[in-house]
């Protein structure tokens, strides 16, 4: 069975919906998203948290679509063009502002859906979080075990719920071990290509209303980074897993190719405050 693994990463996309932080006009949103200081931070997180594991995936048979606006300021638009040119698995889609967020996401993903695939494993990827270096390999392997369950409904979610929460402030980066339900990271949704839907069409925190949802708690599969620029910043429903004596620098390097010392220096250099939101970091 041909399973295509297809992800979507939105990099400061300017459009309606898709955000918890609201703005009164598109000009206000553009000023917020494209502020030079914010973009400098977002690119640093993207380069140091998100990208390393995708560049090192043990199964290279995947596509990651990066979606942004055609007016994304330089040098970041040029950097994304360079990345898509140099990395075969990364595709860049420039989508003009659209009011309906799911329609914009579909416009970005649709050109890359493989009509010959029997199943597409859609996944969403924030530009400041990470999946493990073997995420694609594990997702494809585990789907083979769940194939009969998928056939019953023609849709299936696999929630890799064991991960780490990184918290970045002006004092540096801390690491906490968490099992979090349906966090949206490392959470592939398997759909038939003719359905013409992506992962963002389903609210990740209540995906069980739409399909069977299998929770996998084995390997450490996600790293979520909480910092001042988060749209949400809440950890979500879950609990800690035992990690006494864990060497976080070693684990992050092994599973995510993240350099914790470099990330810590970056957070200190940016002088990040904790976000002023009631549920940030909890």
* CATH number of the domain encompassing residue 110: 3.90.550
| pLDDT tens figures, 20-69 | 555 568 889 899 999 999 999 999 999 999 999 999 999 999 999 999 99
Q: For the segment 128-180, what is each residue's pLDDT rounded down to a tens digit?
A: 999 999 999 999 999 999 999 999 999 999 999 999 999 999 999 999 999 99
- Asked, for residue 282, whether it belongs to a domain, the answer is no
H or E segment and range at residue 156: strand 156-160
CA nearest to 129, candidates 229, 261, 262? 229
Determine, yes or no, domain membership for 142: yes
Concatenating the DSSP letter of every residue in 185-204 gives: SS--EEE-GGG---GGGS-G
**Tokens representing residue 119 in the block:** 């199943």
* Global model pTM greater than 0.75: yes
Residue with tokens 């942004």, as numbered in its chain: 68
Residue 238 within any structural domain of the chain: yes
Residue 274 confidence (pLDDT) above 70: no
Confidence category of residue 205, pLDDT binned at 50, 70, 90: very high
Q: Is residue 209 part of a domain?
A: yes
In a domain, residue 278? The reply is: no
Residue 277, in any domain of the structure: no
Residue 93: pLDDT band with limits 50, 70, 90:
very high
pLDDT in the model for residue 272? 73
Structural domain range at position 221: 3-270
Task: Answer yes or no: is 193 within a domain.
Answer: yes
Q: How far apart are CA 185 and CA 161, in angstroms?
A: 8
Q: Which two tokens stand for residue 156?
A: 């299936």
Domain count, the chain: 1
Tokens of 113: 């859906």
Starting at the edge strand that comes first in sequence, how are the strands of the sheet with 130-131 ordered? 130-131, 222-226, 162-169, 172-180, 238-240
């Amino acid at each position: 069975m041909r399973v295509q693994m297809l992800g979507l990463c939105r990099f400061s996309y300017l459009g309606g919906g898709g955000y918890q932080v609201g703005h009164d006009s598109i000009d206000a949103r553009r000023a917020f998203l494209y502020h030079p200081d914010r973009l400098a931070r977002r690119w640093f997180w993207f380069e140091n948290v998100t990208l390393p594991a995708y560049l090192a995936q043990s199964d290279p048979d995947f596509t990651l679509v990066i979606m942004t606006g055609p007016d994304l300021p330089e040098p970041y638009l040029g950097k994304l063009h360079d990345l898509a040119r140099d990395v075969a698995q990364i595709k860049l889609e420039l989508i003009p502002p659209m009011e309906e967020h799911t329609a914009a996401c579909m416009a970005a993903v649709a050109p890359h859906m493989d009509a010959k695939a029997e199943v597409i494993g859609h996944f969403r990827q924030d530009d400041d979080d990470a999946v493990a270096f073997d995420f694609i390999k594990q997702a494809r392997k585990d789907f083979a075990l769940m194939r009969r369950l998928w056939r019953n409904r023609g849709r299936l979610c696999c929630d890799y719920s064991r991960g780490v929460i990184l918290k970045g402030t002006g004092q540096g980066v801390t690491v906490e071990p968490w099992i979090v339900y349906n966090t949206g990271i490392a959470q592939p949704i398997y759909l038939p290509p003719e359905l013409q839907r992506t992962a963002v069409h389903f609210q990740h925190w209540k995906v069980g209303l739409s399909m069977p949802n299998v929770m996998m708690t084995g390997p450490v599969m996600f790293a979520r980074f909480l910092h001042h620029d988060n749209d949400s910043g809440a950890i979500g429903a879950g609990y800690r897993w035992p990690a006494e004596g864990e060497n976080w620098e070693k684990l992050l390097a092994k599973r995510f190719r993240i350099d914790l010392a470099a990330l810590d220096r970056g957070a200190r250099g940016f002088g990040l405050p904790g976000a002023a939101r009631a549920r940030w970091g909890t």
